[in-house]
Structure 1
Amino acid sequence: MTLLMTLSRDSTVSTLTDGAGPADLTLYPTLYSVTPVRYHAPMIKTERGALGLSAAMALALGVLGLVIAFVSGSQAIMLDGLFNVSYFVIALATVRVARLAEMPDSGTFPFGYGYFESLINAGKGLLILGISALALGDSLIALATGGREVAAGLAITYAAIATTACGATAMTLRRLEKRLASPLVTADVGNWAVNTAVSAAVLLAFCLIPLLHWLELPRFTPYIDPLLVTLIVILCIGVPVRIAARAIMELLNRSPAEAVRQPVQTQVEAAVAGLPVDELHVRMVHPGRTLYVLVHVVLPADYRPDSLAALDAVRRDVSQAVRSVARKSIVDVVFTGDAAWAQPWPPGGWPADHPEH
């Protein structure tokens, strides 16, 4: 933060010299005013900015990691570098998807772009799984063939830089996540948290190399790098599995968790309480940040609404009620007097006398 002094337009400045030293700058307080002006570092305020930060950090650490891995011979650092470079490539697509997710639907994508977010998150999780599997296989081979030597000094330096950078990025994105409520940023927070843990573990493990030399146990040092990669993959594999599994389930239109469904169900029931409802079916899917809600309201066959405007008013009430608990949602409300239109699809298909036939 910088503090600047601004002068009022009518300031008067005079110079007095005592003959012995340099001139003194004397300011008359009655004619001179000092106004502090505070400048703050620019803050990231948008989802796109947060994703751009993530991409930039991934590229910087990826390039650095690959260079250090080539020089030091460390597969653990190679794993980290490959992960970050690959993550940067996906991050470029993520920034584009974040913009699409805020756009209205179109003729080409009549249900919007929410599924693109799930697709990107699935890609992230599967990418991490693939790189981890390759690294695990290579490390197991190295362990079985006598390990591999690494340049400890370079490895420790990289691990220290990576731990600091990853931790700072994770904390920054975590603060932004609370304000932006973006599933893309949430996925990045998880990935950077794992990256921080991995880098810290790499740092601690590489510090064992000079320690083993000091203890005159150098025969164990070739096993540190492959053993470290193996432990990292085993301990951290759960994070990409959860990210990919959740995104794939969203792509398959699985209903969201009970914590999401129950508040919506409650709000819909309250919104239609003024109608003589025979059956109420609320179905929802949650790809990315968008909640799609389909409500079937089954009314008595002899029910006669006052007007179409009255039903539209109920639709408006239902939509507002759902948005009170799910800000970004798309709600469709269907009224019918035939329960067959609202019932789930039966396992054996519709009977011959069903309206679908």
Structure 2
Amino acid sequence: MPAKSSSPNDVERRALGISKWSNLFMAAAGILTAWLSRSDAMLVDGLYSAVNFVSAIAAARIGARVGLPPTRSRPWGQDFDEVLYVTFRSLILIGVLVFAAIISCTKIWTFFSGGSVPELVFGPIAIYAVVIVAICLGLAYNFHRAYRLTGRRSEILRTEARAALIDGALSVGSGAALLSLPFLEETPLAPYVPIGDAVIVLVLILAIVWQPLSTFRKTLADLAGVSAPSGTHTKATRTARDLASEYGFHFHRAAVLQAGRMHFVAVYLDPERAVLAHEIDAYRDKLSARLEDRIGPTRVEVILTANDLLEKKAANNRTR
């Protein structure tokens, strides 16, 4: 079946399935190349791919649960699983980079303290770098394509696309730098060639660690219940207010949160007249449909109140 006629979950599942087996191959290739070449940089590359392999398995299961209706055990649905996945994935990647930094610093310390450092074997590195870069570019394209086909709403696909690019950049940078080390043999830097790969690893870590740190900070804000971005909040508030006017309700405010691709909107209303429950349900369902078109998948809750506590507190603060 063509990708365009498939559901978003099917598109996401296929992309993650391709990623899973590709990363398993790259992890095995990286660890084998590290053993043959005695390079810490290749070991880091292989471990990074191993993390991506495990992540693809978890991501496929989580992606299938996002958007499912609430249950007794999960009264707000399972949408926050996507944010939890991205958060812990970022932490694991940071942990891998810290582990790599420790290994590299240990090798540098051993070298300068007079210890023995194994000599690099460059042949396997060249073959590995070419193959892995081609695979990573293919994965990044596949994830970005799937991200577009699913409406640019899947935080999982966007995270995996970035991870594939980072993995490719890691392979390009480490491979090119390692293969350039033999050219330093006739320079004043020749004595330091044995620790060249350790230095390269540290440089690469400094260059890419900001990406998982940035992702971790963003998802941590989502888990902490920080309000959705101002643009999203403005669209949701305006839509809820306009619809409330159509129903003759007094609109207090809207609280908007975002968890991955899902939005949670709580609307505070005062009907200012006697209403039946089905009127409130109709307002909620119509608002959900409008927000689906304007900001993406949304869960809406309507709270009826005569006095909005947040507005009341703000008014009290202004009078002080």
Normalising by structure 1, report the TM-score. Answer: 0.77
SS for the counterpart of 2:221 is: helix
Partner residue in 1 for 2:18: 53
Task: Name the CA distance, whole Å, in 2 between partners of 1:306 and 1:128.
Answer: 53
Answer yes or no: is the 8 Å Cα contact 2:27–2:49 preserved in 1: yes
Compute the RMSD of aligned alpha carbons: 2.9
Q: How does 1:34-45 map to 2 (within 5 A)?
A: none
1:56 CA displacement: 1.3
Task: Name the CA distance, whole Å, in 2 between partners of 1:158 and 1:294.
Answer: 52
Q: 1:118 to 1:310 in 2, by over 3 A?
A: closer
2:163 maps to amino acid = N
String of CA shifts for 1:86-122, please: whole Å, max 9, x gaps.
Answer: 2212221111111111422222212111111111111
Answer with 71-80 or 149-158: which moved more: 149-158
Task: Name the CA distance, whole Å, in 2 between partners of 1:101 and 1:162.
Answer: 31
Task: Name the CA distance, whole Å, in 1 between partners of 2:64 and 2:311.
Answer: 35
Partner residue in 2 for 1:194: 166
Partner residue in 2 for 1:179: 149
Note the residue ranges of structure 1 that are not aligned, 5 or more in a row. 1-39, 346-357
1:276 CA displacement: 5.7
Answer with 100-109 or 186-195: which moved more: 100-109
1:67 maps to amino acid = L
1:292 corresponds, among 245, 264, 271, to 264
1:87 maps to 2:52: yes
Q: How does 1:69-218 map to 2 (within 5 A)?
A: 69-146=34-111, 149-180=119-150, 181-213=153-185, 218=190
Partner residue in 2 for 1:248: 220
Partner residue in 2 for 1:330: 299
Partner residue in 2 for 1:339: 308
Task: Name the CA distance, whole Å, in 2 between partners of 1:343 and 1:245.
Answer: 32
2:298 maps to amino acid = S
Partner residue in 1 for 2:211: 239
String of CA shifts for 1:149-201, please: whole Å, max 9, x gaps.
Answer: 31111112212211111111111211111112311111101111111111111
Q: 1:217 to 1:324 in 2, by over 3 A?
A: closer
Normalising by structure 2, report the TM-score. Answer: 0.86
Answer yes or no: is the 8 Å Cα contact 2:62–2:81 preserved in 1: yes
1:214 CA displacement: 6.7
Answer with 110-119 or 212-221: which moved more: 212-221
Highest relative contact order (Cα 8 Å, sep 6+), 1 or 2?
2
String of CA shifts for 1:243-267, please: whole Å, max 9, x gaps.
Answer: 2222222222222211321211121
Answer with 108-117 or 265-274: which moved more: 265-274
Answer yes or no: is the 8 Å Cα contact 2:255–2:265 preserved in 1: yes
1:337 maps to amino acid = A
Answer yes or no: is the 8 Å Cα contact 2:33–2:125 preserved in 1: yes
Answer yes or no: is the 8 Å Cα contact 1:289–1:328 preserved in 2: yes
SS for the counterpart of 1:324 is: helix
1:320 CA displacement: 2.6
Answer yes or no: is the 8 Å Cα contact 1:272–1:318 preserved in 2: no
Partner residue in 1 for 2:114: none
Question: How many residues of Structure 1 are paired with residues of Structure 2 in the alignment?
Answer: 305
Partner residue in 2 for 1:12: none
Structure in which a larger fraction of residues adopt helix? 2
Q: 1:298 to 1:75 in 2, by over 3 A?
A: same
Q: 1:226 to 1:266 in 2, by over 3 A?
A: same
Partner residue in 2 for 1:260: 232
Task: Name the CA distance, whole Å, in 2 between partners of 1:50 and 1:130.
Answer: 25
2:255 corresponds, among 278, 283, 292, to 283
Partner residue in 2 for 1:225: 197
Note the residue ranges of structure 2 that are not aligned, 5 or more in a row. 112-116, 315-320
| Sequence identity (%) | 21
Partner residue in 2 for 1:31: none
1:58 CA displacement: 1.2
SS for the counterpart of 2:260 is: coil
Answer yes or no: is the 8 Å Cα contact 2:67–2:262 preserved in 1: no
